[in-house]
Amino acid sequence: MRPNFHPERKTFGESKVSSNSNSNSKPITQLWQKNGMCSEGTIPIRRTRTNDILRASSVQNFGKKKQKSTPQPKPAKPLPDILTQSGHQHAIAYVEGGDFYGAKATINVWDPKIQQPNEFSLSQIWILAGAFGQDLNSIEAGWQVSPDLYGDNNTRLFTYWTSDAYQATGCYNLLCSGFIQINNGIALGASISPLSNYGSSQYDISILVWKDPKEGNWWMQFGNDHVLGYWPAPLFSYLTESASMIEWGGEVVNSESDGQHTSTQMGSGHFPDEGFGKASYFKNIQVVDGDNKLRAPKDLGTYTEKDNCYNVKTGNAGDWGTYFYYGGPGRNPNCP
């Protein structure tokens, strides 16, 4: 399969318009590529080992997110209830109240420190439709550090999907049937290299997810050149039409293992106020509209449960378009 339409060019067959990306930005690679590549007609699949499954709480839960891991900016229930139920914390920017057919962002890549093996830190795009309680449809893509899932602290490219609010459907990457990969050069769940350094070189990845208006499938592109694959339309209920909300940002698990807030970092582990080279960013965030065109989001909101632990700060600038800095260290004197 190939997508019929692409939001950055009229049809998929057309040659790509020249990219506006900064010529100084260095290419992101994946560590496995140093050992060779996959031949045409095959795809790279990260090997699942026995230990990977043994780290999961059960075989059924392997490769799945826990419920309530999508930030709900205007929760139906009071916030403390949501926090105690899930222990997930977020720092996001979002748009809602329209019909969205995709989203794009360039995401700064770091290696946040994780306090407990059962915690994670991720930075991603959420494409959402349905009600947050029972039947939420979600398509997600970004980077994550998850010792429980991968057995190490490497920063890895990932995808996720669910059609019932993380209850029975969906999984990370290719750990269940759902996402169909067509690309032989990029592996889901594989380590990303190089990573950004505080006060030094910065690296980022671009992710675009869009709905093919003809077939109804949701496609994902990594960087400027790699169309990775698609989520088939029949996986979803609400997303067969369009998304009603797009979110960009970070998420961590706060298990409060020692009765204090986790010191698991989000983004770079530094607050947005520190700015470029120190705080992590999303830049050129865009949505795909009903005409299958990319445009800047209107009425961008922000949300975080505890801004003394992790925060978010939006802005607009020429080359960066609509952007935001986000993240934080977790536990600190103002976040006990």
Residues near 84 by beta carbon (within 8 Å), at least 6 away in sequence: none
Is 251 designated active site?
A: yes
Beta bridge partners of 296: none
CB 214, CB 207: distance < 8 Å: no
Examine residue 194 and say whether the peptide bond preceding it is cis (omega within 30 degrees of 0).
yes
Rounded CA-CA distance 114/150 in Å is 13
Indicate if 247 belongs to the active site.
Answer: no
d(CA 272, CA 315): 11
Looking at 8, 40, 241, 251, which residue is catalytic? Answer: 251
Structure tokens at 104: 């794009």
**Which 8-state DSSP code applies to residue 238?**
G
Set 14, 40, 119, 140: catalytic member? 140
Per the CB < 8 A criterion, the answer to whether 297 and 284 are in contact is: no
Print burial letters for 155-167: b (CB count within 10 Å at least 16), e (below 16): bbbbbbbbbbbbe
Half-sphere exposure of 208 (CA within 13 A, CB side): 20
In the chain, how long is the greatest CA-to-CA distance? 57
Q: Which residues are catalytic?
A: 140, 251
